[in-house]
Amino acid sequence: MNLSTRILTVWLLTVITHSWAGAQQSSLFHEVPTSGSDMFAPQGPLIELPGQRSTASNQHSGTRSTPDIGMATASWTYMPPPPRRTFRLQEIVTIRVDELARVRAQGRAESRRNMFYDALLNDWVSLSEGKLRPAQQAEGAPRANGLSNQQFRAEASIDSRESLAFSIAARVVDIQPNGNLVLEANKTVWINDNQFETSLTGICRAQDIAPDNVVLSRDLLDLHIRKNEKGQLRDSYKRGWVTRWLGELNPF
């Protein structure tokens, strides 16, 4: 082996040795020495975290404190929560209404009554000369008897299902002392000769409003929704005044 080959071999061995030592120092599986009091001593340069006192101050006070490690420093995917939004009067908030109501009820009533009566009139009076006087019955005391039989039976069932889904923009009309927001919305839509009016009021918490400025109707307190229709579409299926009067009177 000539001299140049030997020099090249020594240089390659030196490079490989330094690379292996550096990989051992930077490896995640590098074993920390556990001898003596340096078993828990940190290796490498110290980085001062928020809320952590410097090493010099700890050594000066003679105490060793562990840093406060929270989710922000322990997780790589941690995202801090967005700052709490503050609302002012007349701000616009979108309300997403999605209400579903279903009622099912069944009822049955049955009553039966039998009655037997027998009445006898012993005394009878007559008006004579402006005075009431006993009157004798020539054919004897009148008498009445009979039998009454009454029976009533009724069955009823109700199956009602209603759904309501739409979005509406509301404004903040009041802010209560505890921070709750009072919302009010009004919407009017004209389609040809048909008019659709929608009004909504309710109370919600500020934290119930999502970052996209949307609050669900199920999170509103004292929710009032009112929808009115006017025009040819409403006139085609509304009841007449006679039908409404008979329905309210319910004579049968």
137 contact partners, CB below 8 Å, separation of at least 6: 124
Q: Is the dihedral of CA 164, 168, 172, 174 positive or negative?
A: negative
- pTM of the shown model: 0.49
Walk along the chain (252 residues) in steps of 10 and give the mean pLDDT of each run.
70 68 49 47 44 46 58 78 83 92 86 84 72 73 81 85 89 94 94 90 93 92 91 79 77 62
- Nearest CA-CA partner of 87 in 207, 184, 220: 207
Give DSSP secondary structure letters for 100-164.
EEEEEEEEEEEEEEEEEEEEE----EEEETTEEEE---TT---EEEEEEEEEEEEEEEEEEEEEE
Q: Is 24 helix (H, G, I), strand (E, B) or coil?
A: helix
156 contact partners, CB below 8 Å, separation of at least 6: 106, 107, 108
81 contact partners, CB below 8 Å, separation of at least 6: none
**What does the alpha-carbon distance between residue 41 and residue 164 come to, in Å, rounded to a whole number?**
65
Q: Is 202 helix (H, G, I), strand (E, B) or coil?
A: strand
Give pLDDT, residue 29: 46
Instruction: State the DSSP H helix or E strand holding residue 87, giving kind and residue range, or none if neither.
Output: none
Tell me if 93 sits within 8 A of 168, measured CB to CB.
no
**What does the alpha-carbon distance between residue 190 and residue 164 come to, in Å, rounded to a whole number?**
19
Give pLDDT, residue 41: 45
